């Protein structure tokens, strides 16, 4: 099996994934994913697509992730894995689509506007 290359994004995080058949190792930025994502919640987010399509332990995943924070990076990796699993076997698509793993979450941080403290917060109003 050749290497499958996909990309996943979330907020400002970008995850580039290289998937090939193997024993099930997941490497993120040259570290084991359990070291890179220390909390169990983030580890579960990364493994969700593999558990949904019942292919745990059959692919080696090498991920390069950049930008954003840990939660955004984990969800970017999840999207990249889901897209790769759809390329491997199109029968995985309905289950992953039902769980919402193939949807790119468009929510981003709103930019700061001039004349304001933040995006929407205004400076304190003084009547006198």
User: 82 is in which domain, residue-wise?
Assistant: 4-99
Determine, yes or no, domain membership for 29.
yes
Determine, yes or no, domain membership for 64.
yes
Segment (H or E) for 66: strand 59-66
Determine, yes or no, domain membership for 124.
no
pLDDT at res. 50: 93
Which carries the bigger pLDDT value, residue 128 or residue 74?
Answer: 74
Determine, yes or no, domain membership for 105.
no
* Total domains present in the chain: 1
Q: Report pLDDT digits (tens) over 12-27.
A: 999 999 999 999 999 9
Q: Report pLDDT digits (tens) over 36-81.
A: 999 999 999 999 999 999 998 899 999 999 999 999 999 999 999 9
Residue 121 pLDDT exceeds 90: yes
Q: At 55, which CATH number? A: 3.30.230.10
Query: What pTM was estimated for this model as a whole?
Result: 0.91
Record the tokens describing residue 54, joined without a space.
């019942």
Residue 1 pLDDT exceeds 90: no
d(CA 121, CA 98): 37
Candidates 17, 3, 4, 5; CA nearest to 73 is 17
User: In the predicted model, what is the mean pLDDT of the chain?
Assistant: 94
Determine, yes or no, domain membership for 109.
no
Record the tokens describing residue 35, joined without a space.
């070291």
pLDDT at res. 14: 97
Determine, yes or no, domain membership for 128.
no
């Amino acid at each position: 099996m050749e290497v499958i290359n996909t990309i996943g994004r979330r907020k400002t995080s970008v995850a580039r994934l290289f998937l090939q058949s193997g024993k099930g190792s997941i490497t993120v930025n040259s570290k084991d994913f359990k070291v890179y994502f220390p909390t169990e919640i983030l580890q579960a987010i990364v493994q969700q697509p593999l558990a949904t399509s019942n292919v745990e332990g059959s692919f080696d995943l090498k991920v390069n992730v950049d930008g954003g924070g840990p939660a955004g990076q984990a969800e970017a990796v999840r999207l990249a894995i889901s897209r790769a699993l759809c390329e491997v076997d199109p029968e995985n698509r309905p289950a992953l689509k039902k769980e919402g793993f193939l949807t790119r979450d468009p929510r981003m941080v709103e930019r700061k506007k001039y004349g304001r403290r933040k995006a929407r917060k205004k400076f304190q109003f003084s009547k006198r």
